[in-house]
Amino acid sequence: MTQTEEIEQNTFTFSNEENLATECNQCGILGTSNVFNTEIPGFKSITVIAFECEFCGYKRNEVPPAPESDMRSNGCKINVKILDKSDFERRIVLSEQASL
């Protein structure tokens, strides 16, 4: 199995979810940010902050930078083929040292 196939087979698992009251950056109405940890192949555990305003529909997802010690010591190269429009909807998480 190639590393790309291994990554595609892994499913993200979420844990330690917390909800925080957050003001919407778009309309200013109070909403909720969900903060949780997830396991992503090649990155170990990362924290994700997700916000969606129920009033205006504004969405924001953030992945704060992980400490360098959290990154795996060996990197990898992943090639992705864009075959149709839905491929542009994929999310990519890069370290500060990575390039796209």
Instruction: Tell me the per-residue pLDDT of 54-81, one tens digit each, with 9 for 90 and over.
Output: 999 999 988 887 655 545 566 677 787 8
Are 33 and 51 contacting, i.e. CB atoms less than 8 angstroms apart? yes
Are 28 and 42 contacting, i.e. CB atoms less than 8 angstroms apart? no
Dihedral of alpha carbons 71, 76, 38, 84, sign:
positive
Determine if the pTM surpasses 0.75. Answer: no
How many residues appear in the chain?
100
CATH homologous superfamily of domain 3-89? ZPR1, zinc finger domain (2.20.25.420)
Q: Which helix (H) or strand (E) holds 5?
A: helix 3-9
Instruction: Tell me the per-residue pLDDT of 29-54, one tens digit each, with 9 for 90 and over.
Output: 998 899 988 877 665 678 888 999 99
